[in-house]
Structure 1
Amino acid sequence: MELMMRRLESGLRKMKLKQHFRVFSGRQWGYFSFDLCVVGIVFLLFAYLAMLMTGDYMLRSQSERLQLMTTSVITDRNGVQIKKLTSSAFGNRRAAAQEEIPLLLQQAFLATEDHRFYNHSGIDWIGVARAAQTNLAAGKITQGGSTLTQQLARSVFLSNDQTLSRKFLETGLARAMENNYSKPQLLTLYLNHVYMGRQQYGVKAAAERYFGITDLRKLKLWQIASLAAIPKGPSIYNPVDNAKRNKERRAVVLTLMREQGYISKAQMLEAKAVEFVPPAPPAAEVSYTASYTDYVLQEAEAVTGLGREQLLTGGYTIVTGLDTRAQQAAEAAFRQDSLFPEDGATQKVQGAFVLLDNGSGEIRALVGGRDYLQGGLNRAIQIKRQPGSVIKPILVYGPALQSGKFRPQTPLQDKQAAYGSYRPANSNGRYSGTVTLKQAIEQSINAPAVWLLNQVGIPAAAKFAEGLGIRLEEHDRNLAAALGGFQDGVSPLAIAQAFSAFANNGNFNEAHAVRLIKDGQGRTIYARPLRAKQVMTRQTAADMTGLLKGTVEQGTGRKAKLGQWVAGKTGTTQLDVKGVPANANRDLWFAGYTSQLTAAVWMGFDTSGRDNYMTAGSGTAAAMFAAIMKQLPD
């Protein structure tokens, strides 16, 4: 009995405890829900503030991304465009000022992409709600709620990743841009940044690509609607890749424009019916080798201090000294295998060509190699090879004439002699005892050249050469330099630059490709100054020209003859490697000039050796010079 009473009391206590707990839970639940709502609101408030602050910071710290970038162009000496500086990452861009964009074009994009653009502050909550309702009804995402401002933020600052973090940043940036730019400014920025397919960015680039129209005010309604149709799917709605789909999407755009009162029904029907006919292909850029434009960019960076990306995207016009006819002639010659020595066992014989204007130093043509690829080894400017006898006018005969102690008919010693441990030899093994300076240079005899350099003195010779742009390093300041025995070598551009001073009455011009650079507003930001410097007397230059004419007329450079006078010098360096023939050569040179132009030709292997050497002589380089120069006007 007592046990039963205890169990009954225990049961009553448990019942009271459960009843008390139920009362407690019901009372506290309301408080808990209230607290939860407060915490949630505070969290959302902080998240919203963080979103605004993050967007504002990103806009301030990266505002340069909103700058209207435009593809830069390179022109030849006559102002004819030869290259658009596009890249796969940057594409083709054309910036249009706000006043260039016709109202109807603006309305087409607003009707299609964001018809409430002027009624929201970056986020269209009504549009978001409508899109959410449509997506729920469809059971999948069929609409997006992004405003035009959000699209601009995404395309300029972010990626297209479908993540909450990206959407968070996109919304913050959109609000920041709305706070810092007017609606017309934002619309202009959007129309200049929007991707329009086929590597075209902005409506101006797209209008030129798809319709051949550079003035947006000349676009017809059907063309405007066709452009507005593209952003929904640039790869499938651009008219070049899919004219049918573009026309179908164009009809949607026109219907929206009609519904929103921008056009009449008659205008809509007429524009819907037009069939897209691709315009004639734009005038193709002449097939210039990338050698020249590669060098132009390199030089433009150096003279302006601008980075490569700035040059590509800044809308600059880079005017060069390029001569179209000369460049085409040089490239055509380099495509003729018969003008080159035989290829080696493992490599192709390479070559380089540089053509300069005597009076200005402008580069008229430049070829950096056979089958040159953009960004490759530009042998015209990047290689440094032993110059052989082509250096003699620069380092031996020029300084001798400049000293006033030697004239073309001055006798020079032609004997086998030793200068300490150095014993130069004539290539044919014959010695005349004495030859005139004229005979020595015409026949490219080695012994007199070394003897003469010894007489002039290396310091005086080095100073003369430096005036022509060729610096003789300390380890090359020896008598072997008279025959081109350099450790560091010289480039074809440096050789052409030096010879042009003889052609220019003793005035030296630094070789250059860039004449002037204009920015997107047509303002000149760089113009090449005239920097001609008298580095030798006119008499020295005239005497040298007379001597080098003889080299072409009856000397080693006979294959360089043209229908007019030519002055020039050949050069050959032998391959001193065991197991190759005695006539195996490493480098072939010819440098020459007419009254207007100076050119240098180099031929050789990138890496010479037992399997890759030439048995042809420097006459081959002289023949290449003639093959190119004969194609040019006198």
Structure 2
Amino acid sequence: MKFEMIPKASHDRPAEKYSETQTRERVPIMREKLSRLEDSTVKGALGLRRRLKFNFKVKRGIYYAFDASVVIVMMLLIGYMYMVTYGERMIRSHPAITSKISSTTILNSEGAEITRLQAGTNGYATHADLNEMPKVLKQAFLATEDRRFYKHDGLDYIGIGRAVVQDVINLDLSQGGSSITQQLARNLYLNGDKTMVRKVNEMSIAIALEKKYAKDDILESYLNQIYMGQGIYGVKAAAWRYFGIKDLRQLELWQVATLAGIPKGPSIYNPIDNAGLSKDRRAVVLTLMHEQGIITRKQMQEARKMDYVPPATTTSMNSSAPQPAYASAIDAVIQEASQLTGRSVADIQSAGWVIHTGLYSRAQLAMEEEFRQSAHFTDDRADERVQASMVIIDQRNGEVKAMMGGRNPRRGDMNRATRDARQPGSAFKPIIAYGPALESGKFNANSILQDKRVRYGSYQPSNLGGRYQGSITMTEALRKSVNAPAVWLLNETGMQRAQQFAAHLGIELGQEDLHLSSALGGLHQGVSPLKMAQAYTVFANQGRFNTAHLIREITDAQGRNIYVRKAENQQVISPNTANVMTAMLQNVVSHGTGNKAQLHGYQVAGKTGTTQAALPGVKKEANRDLWFVGYTNKWTAAVWMGFDHTDAEHYMLASSGAAANLYASVMRRALP
């Protein structure tokens, strides 16, 4: 039996059957559909790729923006921290703005100003408290420099904005827009470079200053620190320099406006250097003061008309009359002040002290002018000049009246007058040989001394020219400056007694100097003209000692005494020894080796000194050091001449008579 499969019922659309012709007709259609489908697929893929690429760029941009924002935030944070900490660190590491810096003044014996020392600002300053300054003076500076000073926190943003606009227009950094606090920050801690870093630092310090100090303190410091031209800092020093006024309350309106106009351009707006430009700038300041209601129109117009006339103080400073420079003496004064007070040189210069000295202008000028005379220095070489130094002391009180540390000294140069570096030669004989012998009581001016060629152990002194008399009186031995008797006398008196005698005269000898050759000035280190002059003052002052000094007293800015010199006049040797020595030394000048030191109207006592060059291949007449130390009834002085470095090309052919002649030339003009 056959079973026939019956197909299930189906809802599917029965397959269409196409003829061959129909099939050929539909192929292009199908190909077109497939092409469109393919195009659609490709376009979809490309679109998807573009969308993916776009999304990637967007995400990458977002990442970059995030990274950039993080960097910016970090930079802003670092900048903020720098702004906050830099200024505070600078203030901690530097002196407070409230420190009162003023130039110390040095006066001569007549009370005239020798110099004002440069303060910490490298200029000249006189501090003034804010309550010393008249209201109109403060208003003038505020109106000109920072009208919103009491309203801002150190940075005047309105002024800064205006300056930025001007800088953009001018394409430079000429407009600072600095507040008074910023100017103070720059003056105290920074330089004047117009760079962005300096500006940021300035702003940082200004903010820190405003946090730490009151407005009045900042204004006071600014008015004392601001540069006012002519090497002057601060309004008080400027008022004295330009108007001869010490009390700021005495300033007139036109003078106040003149001062307020200077900081804009100190070298061109100060009235001494350019009175015309100063007057123009003053008019600008007065206009600003009028616009801000500080002065009336009438006051403005009257103050504009005033013409500047330099005060007598300024005229005298610029006078063509010769004035002593005091260069070496000023250095010595500062060093002495440091030793007396324990303060550093830098502190002294800006302490505002007044240092009263015994320096005498006539003596100092005479010394400086004679030192400029080439006729005194015949051994000058083409490549090096002979040097010289000199000190004059009043033996009655020890005051130094004049000092030269070189032929043309400048501040800070080596001071040959105070430097223990030269061999005194025979000028040392009264100190080490004849004085101790007289003081012992065993010898007098007529004592007979041995004048023979004698060997003392390994040392054998010789007389100049090899001549010996066998015996000679002390007076003759000193007058002729014979060597052998001086050594013999020192040996007889004893080195210990000689050492003590020299110490009484202010010359301390070390162990290396305790030998017989010291009778002829052979010292290990040498001695200074200052110490030689001081030693001879004891002979000139009846055996009484006064420490050589330049300073009489020191007062502070308020006139209170910091130091006052006390009289000494200590009897250190017998009056008889001093008188006998004076008589013998007067004989040296009147009839002996010191005859060129004679002065009309004065009896001079003194002694020459010469040390030989003793160089191989150089003539025996060549000398290293030339000395004369002498005194009248008023003053004692010591002169040294020679080359700083003696060698085969640089030595003295002149004798000690050249030093004696220089002494006389100076003292003839210097003595009152």
Q: TM-score, normalised by structure 1?
A: 0.90
After TM superposition, give the deviation of residue 313 of structure 1 in Å.
2.3
Cα deviations across residues 36-63 of structure 1 (Å, max 9, x unaligned)?
A: 8798678646643542333223223213
1:461 to 498, 506, 509: 498
Distance 2:543 2:513 in 1: 25
Q: Are 2:246 and 1:214 equivalent residues in the alignment?
A: yes
Q: Note the 1:466-481 alignment, pairs <5 A.
A: 466-481=503-518
Distance 1:156 1:145 in 2: 18
1:592 to 630, 634, 647: 630
Structure 2 vs 1, CA of residues 406 and 164 (structure 1 numbering), >3 Å: closer, same or farther? same
Q: Are 2:218 and 1:186 equivalent residues in the alignment?
A: yes
Distance 2:382 2:149 in 1: 68
Decide whether the 8 Å contact of 2:97 with 2:221 is kept in 1.
no
Distance 2:644 2:526 in 1: 14
After TM superposition, give the deviation of residue 193 of structure 1 in Å.
1.2
Structure 2 vs 1, CA of residues 150 and 411 (structure 1 numbering), >3 Å: closer, same or farther? same
After TM superposition, give the deviation of residue 13 of structure 1 in Å.
4.9
After TM superposition, give the deviation of residue 423 of structure 1 in Å.
2.7
1:261 to 280, 293, 297: 293
Q: Note the 1:103-122 alignment, pairs <5 A.
A: 103-122=135-154
Q: Are 2:101 and 1:69 equivalent residues in the alignment?
A: yes
Which residue is equivalent to 2:432? 395
Please tell me whether Structure 1 or Structure 2 has the larger radius of gyration of its CA atoms.
2
Structure 2 SS opposite 1:515:
strand
Q: Are 2:471 and 1:434 equivalent residues in the alignment?
A: yes
After TM superposition, give the deviation of residue 604 of structure 1 in Å.
2.0
Which residue is equivalent to 2:528? 491
Counterpart amino acid of 1:442? R
Which residue is equivalent to 2:422? 385
Which residue is equivalent to 1:168? 200
Structure 2 vs 1, CA of residues 251 and 4 (structure 1 numbering), >3 Å: closer, same or farther? same
Distance 1:31 1:451 in 2: 103
Decide whether the 8 Å contact of 1:66 with 1:156 is kept in 2.
no
Which residue is equivalent to 1:283? 316
Counterpart amino acid of 1:375? G
Which residue is equivalent to 2:181? 149
Q: Which moved more, 1:276-285 or 1:364-373?
A: 276-285
Distance 1:140 1:392 in 2: 74
Structure 2 vs 1, CA of residues 495 and 134 (structure 1 numbering), >3 Å: closer, same or farther? closer
Distance 1:98 1:309 in 2: 25
Structure 2 vs 1, CA of residues 129 and 555 (structure 1 numbering), >3 Å: closer, same or farther? closer
Counterpart amino acid of 2:660? A
Q: Which moved more, 1:75-84 or 1:141-150?
A: 141-150
After TM superposition, give the deviation of residue 258 of structure 1 in Å.
0.8
After TM superposition, give the deviation of residue 405 of structure 1 in Å.
1.8
Q: Are 2:461 and 1:424 equivalent residues in the alignment?
A: yes
Structure 1 SS opposite 2:280:
helix
Which residue is equivalent to 2:132? 100
Q: Which moved more, 1:472-481 or 1:223-232?
A: 472-481
Counterpart amino acid of 2:222? Y
Counterpart amino acid of 1:498? A
Structure 1 SS opposite 2:139:
helix
After TM superposition, give the deviation of residue 336 of structure 1 in Å.
3.1
Q: Are 2:161 and 1:124 equivalent residues in the alignment?
A: no
Distance 1:611 1:569 in 2: 28
After TM superposition, give the deviation of residue 633 of structure 1 in Å.
4.6
Decide whether the 8 Å contact of 2:114 with 2:326 is kept in 1.
no
After TM superposition, give the deviation of residue 610 of structure 1 in Å.
4.2
Structure 1 SS opposite 2:323:
coil
After TM superposition, give the deviation of residue 366 of structure 1 in Å.
0.9
Decide whether the 8 Å contact of 1:352 with 1:601 is kept in 2.
yes
After TM superposition, give the deviation of residue 122 of structure 1 in Å.
1.2
Counterpart amino acid of 2:441? G
Which residue is equivalent to 1:536? 573
Structure 2 SS opposite 1:630:
helix
After TM superposition, give the deviation of residue 303 of structure 1 in Å.
2.8
Counterpart amino acid of 2:611? T
Q: Which moved more, 1:141-150 or 1:191-200?
A: 141-150
Decide whether the 8 Å contact of 1:391 with 1:483 is kept in 2.
yes
Which residue is equivalent to 1:617? 655
Which residue is equivalent to 1:404? 441
Distance 2:654 2:54 in 1: 108
Counterpart amino acid of 1:126? I
Percent identity for Structure 1 against Structure 2: 47
Distance 2:325 2:364 in 1: 7
Structure 2 vs 1, CA of residues 585 and 210 (structure 1 numbering), >3 Å: closer, same or farther? same
Decide whether the 8 Å contact of 1:346 with 1:612 is kept in 2.
no
Decide whether the 8 Å contact of 1:346 with 1:611 is kept in 2.
no
After TM superposition, give the deviation of residue 545 of structure 1 in Å.
2.3
1:506 to 534, 538, 543: 543
Decide whether the 8 Å contact of 2:269 with 2:278 is kept in 1.
yes
Structure 2 vs 1, CA of residues 234 and 216 (structure 1 numbering), >3 Å: closer, same or farther? same
After TM superposition, give the deviation of residue 600 of structure 1 in Å.
1.0
Counterpart amino acid of 1:307? S
Counterpart amino acid of 1:147? S
Structure 2 SS opposite 1:119:
coil
Counterpart amino acid of 2:316? A
Q: Which moved more, 1:106-115 or 1:273-282?
A: 273-282
Cα deviations across residues 481-539 of structure 1 (Å, max 9, x unaligned)?
A: 21223343222112111111222333333322223222333333333444554432333
Distance 2:605 2:172 in 1: 79
Structure 1, gaps ≥5 residues long: none
Which residue is equivalent to 2:230? 198
Which residue is equivalent to 1:317? 354
Q: Are 2:357 and 1:326 equivalent residues in the alignment?
A: no
After TM superposition, give the deviation of residue 367 of structure 1 in Å.
1.4
Q: Which moved more, 1:73-82 or 1:5-14?
A: 5-14
Q: Which moved more, 1:240-249 or 1:75-84?
A: 240-249
Counterpart amino acid of 1:331? E
C-alpha RMSD of matched pairs (Å):
3.2
Decide whether the 8 Å contact of 1:52 with 1:176 is kept in 2.
yes
Counterpart amino acid of 2:547? E
Q: Are 2:397 and 1:364 equivalent residues in the alignment?
A: no
Counterpart amino acid of 1:418? R
Which residue is equivalent to 2:116? 84
Structure 2 vs 1, CA of residues 165 and 336 (structure 1 numbering), >3 Å: closer, same or farther? closer
1:569 to 607, 610, 625: 607
Q: Are 2:479 and 1:447 equivalent residues in the alignment?
A: no
Structure 2 vs 1, CA of residues 6 and 177 (structure 1 numbering), >3 Å: closer, same or farther? same
Q: Note the 1:539-550 alignment, pairs <5 A.
A: 539-550=576-587
After TM superposition, give the deviation of residue 102 of structure 1 in Å.
1.4
Q: TM-score, normalised by structure 2?
A: 0.85
Cα deviations across residues 317-341 of structure 1 (Å, max 9, x unaligned)?
A: 2222212222122223323333444
Distance 1:495 1:366 in 2: 13
Distance 1:407 1:459 in 2: 20
Counterpart amino acid of 2:101? M
Structure 2 SS opposite 1:406:
coil
Structure 2 SS opposite 1:607:
coil
Distance 2:174 2:484 in 1: 87
Q: Are 2:269 and 1:233 equivalent residues in the alignment?
A: no
Cα deviations across residues 115-164 of structure 1 (Å, max 9, x unaligned)?
A: 11111121222333344455556776674432111111112112223333
